[in-house]
C-alpha cells in the first residue's frame, strides 16, 4: 500500500472521521475539523469509495445531530459566533468542541455542498434518505440567512472576521454544484448571483486586509470558480509573494508560529502541483511536486509547517489534508 495512504489511515476513527493531525498531539489537532475531513477524504476518491462515503455520512450525522441549531440560525441570523455551525468536533462522540474559536467558517459549508454534489454526480452513493436531503436544503437556507456574500467570517485560517473571497467563492461553487446535482433542492438563483458579484469585486484580493493569500488557491482548485485571467493572477501573486523554501506562507505578516518570519506551510506545494497538473503545465507541475516531496519529514509525513527559514517543523505532523494533497498531486 502507498505509505502516504497508510499514514492517513492511522488518523481515522471508527466514526469515519479523521483527526486533523496525529491522535497523540497535545495541540488540539487530535480532533476533527469538517474542512480538513473533506480535503482528507479526497485522497481516497480513486480507490476507496467506502472511506470517502463514511466521511460524508459522519458529517451528515453531525449536521443531523445539530439540526435544531441550524434551524435556529435559519430563523435568527447569528450574531454570536457560537451560533454558527461549528468547525470542530470530537471525532468519536461528534460533540461540538466548545472552546472559544473562530467558528464563522462559511467556506466549510460551501466546500461540503460542492464536494457532496460533485461526488454524487460521479456516482458516489452518499445520500441515504430524505433526512440527508433535508439537511442539504437547510444548509442552503442557512447560507441565505447569514448572507454569506457579505458575512464577516473567520475564513479558512480561522482568524480575522472579514469578507473573504475564498469563503464567498466556496459558497458560490457549492450552491452551483448543488443546484446541478440535486434538482429537487431549491437554490435561489439570486443567492448565487450575489456571491458572484461580491467575488468579482474582491478578486484578486482575499479580503480588505489581505492582497494575497494561499486560501485563494481553492478558487482555482478544487472549485474552478474563477476565470482564466483571475486564476493566472492568483497564481502569479502566490508564487511571487508566498512561496518559500520549505513551504508556502499563508499571507504576508502571518503571526501563527512566527519565528523571525512567517511559517512555511507544506500544503502549498502539492496544492500548486495539483493546479498545474490540471492546467497541463508539466514543467511547473514537476517543480512543485518535487518541492512537495522535499517538504516531507524523515517519517514521510507532511507536517503542518516549518518555522521560517529552518528545517524544523511544528508538532502538528502529519497534517491530514497536507498529506492528502500530496497523494492527489502524486497520483
Q: What is the mean pLDDT of each run of 10 residues along the chain (331 residues)?
A: 90 98 95 98 97 98 98 95 95 92 94 98 98 98 98 97 98 98 98 98 97 98 97 98 98 97 98 98 98 97 98 98 98 93
Which residues, at least 6 apart from 151, have a Cβ–Cβ distance to it below 8 Å?
104, 106, 163, 167
Grid coordinates representing 142? 442557512
Domains of the chain, by residue range, sit at: 31-226
Asked if 258 and 314 touch (Cβ cutoff 8 Å), the reply is: no
Looking up cell 467575488 gives 199
- How many Cβ atoms are within 10 Å of 68's Cβ, its own excluded? 8
pTM for the complete prediction?
Answer: 0.98
Give residue 186's pLDDT.
98
Give residue 58's pLDDT.
98
d(CA 56, CA 86) in angstroms, rounded, equals 16
Give residue 98's pLDDT.
86
Distance between first and last Cα of the chain: 13
Give residue 1's pLDDT.
67
Which residues, at least 6 apart from 133, have a Cβ–Cβ distance to it below 8 Å?
127, 182, 184, 185
Give residue 101's pLDDT.
84
Give residue 15's pLDDT.
97
Amino acid at each position: 500500500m502507498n505509505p502516504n495512504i497508510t499514514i492517513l489511515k492511522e488518523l481515522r476513527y471508527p466514526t469515519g472521521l479523521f483527526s486533523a493531525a496525529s491522535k497523540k498531539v497535545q495541540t488540539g489537532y487530535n480532533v476533527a475539523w469538517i474542512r480538513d475531513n473533506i480535503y482528507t477524504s479526497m485522497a481516497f476518491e480513486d480507490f476507496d469509495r467506502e472511506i470517502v462515503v463514511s466521511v460524508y455520512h459522519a458529517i451528515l450525522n453531525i449536521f443531523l445531530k445539530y439540526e435544531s441549531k441550524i434551524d435556529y440560525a435559519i430563523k435568527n441570523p447569528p450574531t454570536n459566533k457560537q451560533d454558527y455551525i461549528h468547525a470542530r468536533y470530537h471525532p468519536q462522540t461528534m460533540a461540538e468542541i466548545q472552546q472559544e474559536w473562530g467558528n464563522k467558517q462559511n467556506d466549510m459549508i460551501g466546500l461540503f455542498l460542492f464536494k457532496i454534489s460533485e461526488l454524487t454526480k460521479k456516482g458516489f452513493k452518499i445520500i441515504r434518505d430524505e433526512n440527508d436531503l433535508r439537511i442539504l436544503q437547510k444548509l442552503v437556507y442557512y447560507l441565505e440567512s447569514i448572507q454569506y456574500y457579505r458575512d464577516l467570517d473567520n475564513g479558512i485560517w480561522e482568524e480575522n472576521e472579514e469578507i473573504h473571497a475564498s469563503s464567498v467563492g466556496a459558497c458560490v461553487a457549492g450552491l452551483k454544484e448543488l443546484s446541478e446535482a440535486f434538482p429537487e433542492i431549491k437554490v435561489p438563483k439570486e443567492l448565487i448571483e450575489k456571491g458572484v458579484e461580491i467575488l468579482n469585486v474582491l478578486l484578486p484580493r482575499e479580503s480588505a486586509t489581505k492582497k494575497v493569500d494561499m486560501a485563494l488557491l481553492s478558487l482555482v482548485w478544487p472549485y474552478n470558480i474563477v476565470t482564466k485571467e483571475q486564476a493566472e493572477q492568483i497564481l502569479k501573486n502566490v508564487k511571487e509573494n508566498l512561496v518559500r523554501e520549505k513551504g508556502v506562507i499563508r499571507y504576508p505578516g502571518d503571526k501563527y508560529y512566527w519565528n523571525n518570519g512567517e511559517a512555511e506551510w507544506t500544503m502549498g506545494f502539492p496544492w500548486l502541483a495539483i493546479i498545474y497538473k490540471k492546467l497541463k503545465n508539466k514543467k511547473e507541475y514537476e517543480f512543485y511536486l518535487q518541492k512537495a516531496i522535499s517538504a516531507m519529514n524523515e517519517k514521510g509525513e507532511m507536517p503542518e509547517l516549518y518555522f521560517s527559514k529552518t528545517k524544523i517543523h511544528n508538532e502538528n505532523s502529519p497534517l491530514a489534508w497536507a498529506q492528502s494533497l500530496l497523494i492527489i498531486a502524486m497520483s
